[in-house]
Amino acid sequence: MRNLFRAEWIKIAGNRWVAGCLIWIFPIGAVAFFAVAGLVLALSSSARTGLRQDEVFLWTEQAIGVWNFPNNPVGRLILLGFTAVVFAGEYQWQTWKNVVPRNRRAALILIKFLALGAFVVLAFSLMSALWTAGWAVLTRIADVSYGPRITWAVLQDFGEDYALAAGLAFTSTLIAAGYAALAAMFTRSILGGVIAGFALTFVENLSIVALMLIGWFLDIPRIVHLYRFTPGYNLINVASWINDNAPNTMRPFEESKYSDIVFSDSLGFSVALLALWVFGLIALTVTLFQRQDITS
């Protein structure tokens, strides 16, 4: 399995254009941002004053905040584009025919998911470290405090939240990869995989609107509760638990006769649903791939 993982890693990291434009751009962008911001702060006293009047800067929040990106809709689309290339590429480059006889199909798919998740987590860990260090430099230039003080309790709390945030990004990647893999399997092309994957994500994100309309017109507003079962909602809910220690409260029919409908779910509910989604998508991908004819 270690060899298979390494093979997958070489393929993912070796596609420098795709990995660079869709993943490495974030840590590289962070470095560029801090270089420019540091220069501005160093040269401009008004910028330093402005920063001092800003919010309180906490390294714990900076380090964890970065991990929200893979969970929001835009971040998920970028992850989906990346994972779609990885899955659909095998069809478009006609490389499955070299790979499939060399190992079990289920192992090939499982390792692809694992390597993709690990790759994204590594990139965002780097991004998180750069972001935290970058703000340390900026706050030092502006002479602003950058807490909290490092104590055992702070580290323990931070460690838990950080692990959850990274785990959530990993989960988000696996869900994006699941959509991408299914799209790739049906379209067998990179462009088709990206478009179909985006379509799946859009449908998922916009399903709340569709459910609201159906609920409104048919006067069965409770149908909107189905949205609580989508990955998008649960990713945001878990992120909310990590960042604010509270659920992401959502009232779909605000200021209407159905305003009593509120989504406010526990961390356990969302974690369980996300686990179900990940397991379901991977199982479906493996099952379909096992039965698929590799004709190209």
Partner 1 sequence: MSTEIAIETRNLCKTFGRRASKRIEAVKHLNLEVRAGQVYGFLGPNGAGKSTTIRMMLDLIHSTAGDVYLYGRHVHRHHEILRRVGTLVEGATFYNFLSGRRNLEVLARTANCYDPRRIEQLLEQVGLAERANQRVKRYSTGMKQRLGLAAALLSDPDLLILDEPTNGLDPGGMHEIRTFIRRLVDEQGKTVFLSSHLLGEVEQVCDRVAIINLGEIVREGAVDELLAGKSTLRVEARPLQRAAEVLRQYWPIVTNETWLTVSASHEDSPHVVRRLVEAGVDVYQVAAQRQTLEEYFLAVVRENGSHA
What is the contact surface with partner 1 in residues (CB under 8 A)?
Answer: 3-4, 6-7, 10-11, 14-17, 93-104, 108, 291, 293-295
CA distances (Å), origin 133, targets 31, 34, 35, 158, 165 = 10, 9, 12, 16, 18
Cβ closest to partner 1, residue 10 vs residue 199: 10
Task: Check: CB of residue 190 under 8 Å from CB of residue 88.
Answer: yes
The CB-of-29 to partner 1 minimum distance in angstroms stands at 22
Shortest spacing between CB 220 and partner 1, in angstroms: 37
Omega prior to 148 cis, within 30 of 0? yes
Least spacing, CB of residue 105 vs partner 1, in Å: 8
CB of 92 to partner 1, least distance (A): 10
Residue whose token pair is 């970065």: 66
Closer residue to partner 1 in complex, CB, 108/184: 108
To partner 1, the closest distance from the beta carbon of 18 in angstroms equals 8
Distances (CA, A) of 265 to 106, 113, 175, 229, 238: 34, 28, 20, 11, 9
Instruction: Please count the CA atoms within 13 angstroms of the CA of 175 that sit on its side-chain side.
Output: 28
Q: Tell me how far apart the alpha carbons of residues 67 and 122 are, in angstroms, rounded to a whole number.
A: 11
Shorter beta-carbon distance to partner 1: residue 7 or 137:
7
Q: Which is nearer to partner 1, 90 or 161 (CB)?
A: 90
Q: State the nearest-atom distance from the C-beta of 20 to partner 1, in Å.
A: 11
Q: In the complex with partner 1, which residue's Cβ is closer, 17 or 217?
A: 17
Give the pair of three-digit tokens for residue 38.
Answer: 């540091």
Closer Cβ to partner 1, 260 or 293, answer by number: 293
| Whole-number Å distance between alpha carbons of 135 and 118 | 26
Could you tell me which residues come within 8 angstroms of residue 23 by beta carbon, excluding any fewer than 6 positions away? Answer: 82, 119, 120, 123
- Cα separation of 294 and 169, whole Å? 32
